[in-house]
Structure 1
Amino acid sequence: MTVYSRGEEVSDQSQGTSPAAPAPLGPADPATVIVFGNEKGGSGKSTGSMHVIVALLRLGFKVGSLDLDMRQWTLTRYLSNRAASMKNEGIDLPMPIHVFLSRSSKPNRSEAEAEDRQRCEAVLKKLRAECDFVVVDCPGTDTYVGRVAHGHADKLVTPINDSFIDLDMLANVDGKTGEIIKPSVYAEMVWEARKQRAVRDGGSLDWIVMRNRLSSLAARNKQEMERVVGVLAKRIGFRVAPGFSERVIFRELFLRGLTMLDVFEIGDSGKPQLSHVAARQEVRGLLNALQLPNRTPTPHDRSAEYEAIESPPLMGEDASED
C-alpha cells in the first residue's frame, strides 16, 4: 500500500499492476498487527502510533488500537483528548476502536502474567477479526504483556531518537572504534518473538527501526549513527524508516488529540506553514515505509466507535472478559 500526495488529499494506490502482485486482502482476512515497541520511554512510540492510526482511518480503513502502557496510558489519553475535541468543538474526526488493559490484580506473579496474557491475546483476537489494521502501543520498559504483543506483531516499529544513548537499546557499540560488539537484550527479545511467531502460526515479523528527531544539520553524530544503524540492520535483521523531526507542532497537538493529518482538514490551522506540510510528508513517509499489504477497507460505523472511546474504563473491563 502506497500513500502519496496529490494536492491536499491523502490517497491509496497499489504498488503495481503486475499479474504477480498479490490480491488485495478483504474484510474476511485478519487484520495486520502493527506494534510500536522498545524498552525506552520518550522515543515517540505513542506519537507514531497515533499518526499511523489516523492515517489509516483517513484512508477509509477500520482500525483497532490497543494501549498496553498500564501506568501512563498515553495513547488512551491522546484519544480521549480527541473525543473531547469532537464533542466540545463540534468537529468530525475519524476514531479507532480503542481498548486499554489494566494490570492484573492477582497477587501471585505467575497467575497475574497468565491473566494478562489471556486478556491481551483475547483483545488482539477480537480486533484482528473485526478490523483491517490493529495498532498496539507498548510501554517504554520491559513488561510481560509487551513481550506477548511483540510475539503477535506482523510489523514491529521501534522508534529511537537519533543518539547513541537510544542506539544502546539495540546493540552495544565500542566507544572508541564505533564497532558493534553484540546485540542488546531488546534485540534478543525481538529475535525470540520472531521464533515464537514462526512456531505458533508460521508467520513472520517485519521489524522497522524508525529514526526520530533527526537534525537538519550534517553533524558527525548523525553520520556515524547512520553508518552504525545501517550495519546493525543487516546484522540483526531490521529495516530503517524515516521518522519525525523535532517539531513543536507534534507536542502541541496532543492536548486536542489531533495529528498532522487533521490540522488542515478541520480548517483552523490558518495559513499552512512549510513546517506543517513537511511534518505531514514525514507521516506519509512512515506509512509508506511500513509496506503494509493492500486490502479492501471494511465498512464500519464511525458513530459507534465514537461512543466507545468516550468510556475507556468500561472498555478495559469489557476487554478483560473476552
Structure 2
Amino acid sequence: MAGERPHFIVFANEKGGTGKSTTAVHSAVALAAAGKRVAALDLDTRQRTLGRYLDNRAATIRRTDTPLPMPSYGTFDPEKNDDLEAQLEAISEGADVVVVDTPGRDDPYAREAMLRADTLVTPINDSFVDLDLIGQVDPETYKVRRPSFYAELVWNSRTQRAKTTGASVDWVLLRNRLQYVEAKNMRRVGAALDELAKRVGFRVIPGLGERVIYRELFPKGLTLLDLKELGNVGLSHIAARQELREMIAGLSLPGDNRDAGPPRAAAMAG
C-alpha cells in the first residue's frame, strides 16, 4: 500500500466501561498478526488503556525475547501537542491500518478523529443502558422512539466527511458481553438495534464476551492470539479466540472478500 492512505478504524463511544480499549488493542494486534502494518493512537491521555496495554506487550517482548506481532503506537497529549492532525499524519506514515482509541466521554479530539474514520466502531454492552446512547426506546413496547444524541453526532460527522472528502463511513455497532444463554432482554436489545440500524445506517456485529481472561492478559500485554505465551489453554480460551476472529472478520476491512459496504442510512427521523 505504498503511497496510499491507510484505513482508519476509530473506536468511539462516549460511555465508559463498554470494552472499547480492549477491543481496540485486540483488533490492532490481530491485524498485525495478519501481516498488516498497523499503527495505533491512544487519545485517552488520562487512562491511556491502549497505550499501557501496548507498553506491557513491548516489555514482554523484551523480557522474553519473543517476536510477537506488534503495532507501532503513540499517545496524543494535548498539553504537549495540540495538533492532532499532525500526529495522525506522522503515525500513519507507512501504515496499512491506523487504529484510534478515543476516551469514553465527549471529547473534541475524539470528534476530530471520527472525521478521519473509514470504519467507525462503537462498542456497547448488551443492555438498554448502553442502547440509550444510540436510541431511546418506549418503556412499554421497547420500540425505538427516536435516535439519541450520539447517533445524531455520528450522523453529522459522516455527513461532514462525505461533503469534504466524498468518502463514506462504515459505522459498526459492536455488541460486547453478549450473554451465552439467550434471554428476553437480549432479544429486545437486538430487535431495537435492528430497527435503529435501518434508520441511521449502522451494521451490528458480535464482539467479545465477558471473560476474565481479557483482564488477566493486560499486565503482560498479551492477547488471545498469543497461545504459546498463555501456557495451558482451555476450551474457554479457544472459544474466546474464535470470538476475536469472528469480530475481526465482521469488520469487513479492505482486503477481506466480504462486502464492506454499510447499509444506506435513512433520514434521521425523530
Q: Same fold (TM over 0.5)?
A: yes
**Shift in Å at residue 274 of structure 1?**
1.1
In 1, Cα distance between equivalents of 2:96 and 2:234:
33
Unaligned runs of 5+ in 2: 257-270
Q: Does 1:289 align with 2:264?
A: no
Q: Tell me the amino acid that sits aligned with residue 39 of structure 1.
A: E
2:240 is aligned, of 272, 279, 301, to: 279
**Shift in Å at residue 101 of structure 1?**
0.9
Q: Does 1:216 align with 2:180?
A: yes
Q: Tell me the amino acid that sits aligned with residue 122 of structure 2.
A: T
Q: 4+ residue stretches of structure 1 with deviation over 3 A?
A: none
**Shift in Å at residue 199 of structure 1?**
1.8
When normalised by structure 2's length, the TM-score is 0.91
Q: Does 1:269 align with 2:231?
A: yes
Return the structure number with greater relative CO, CA threshold 8 A, min gap 6: 1
In 1, Cα distance between equivalents of 2:77 and 2:63:
28
Spell out the pairing of 1:167-316 with structure 2 (5 A cutoff): 167-262=131-226, 264-266=227-229, 268-270=230-232, 272-294=233-255
In 1, Cα distance between equivalents of 2:26 and 2:242:
12
When normalised by structure 1's length, the TM-score is 0.77
Pairwise CA RMSD: 1.4
**Shift in Å at residue 104 of structure 1?**
3.1
The superposition leaves residues 199-241 of structure 1 with CA deviations (integer Å, 9 ceiling, x where unpaired) of: 2211111000000101111211011111111111111110001
Which of the two has higher C-alpha Rg? 1
Which residue is 1:305 aligned to? none
Q: Does 1:41 align with 2:41?
A: no
Q: Does 1:92 align with 2:67?
A: yes
Percent of aligned pairs sharing the same letter: 48
The superposition leaves residues 88-138 of structure 1 with CA deviations (integer Å, 9 ceiling, x where unpaired) of: 233221221111111337xxxxxxxxx73xx21112223334200000000
Q: Tell me the amino acid that sits aligned with residue 288 of structure 1.
A: A
**Shift in Å at residue 183 of structure 1?**
1.0
Q: Tell me the amino acid that sits aligned with residue 131 of structure 2.
A: L
Q: Give the secondary-structure state (helix, strand or coil) at the position aligned to 1:280.
A: helix
Q: Tell me the amino acid that sits aligned with residue 141 of structure 2.
A: T
Unaligned runs of 5+ in 1: 1-25, 106-114, 296-322
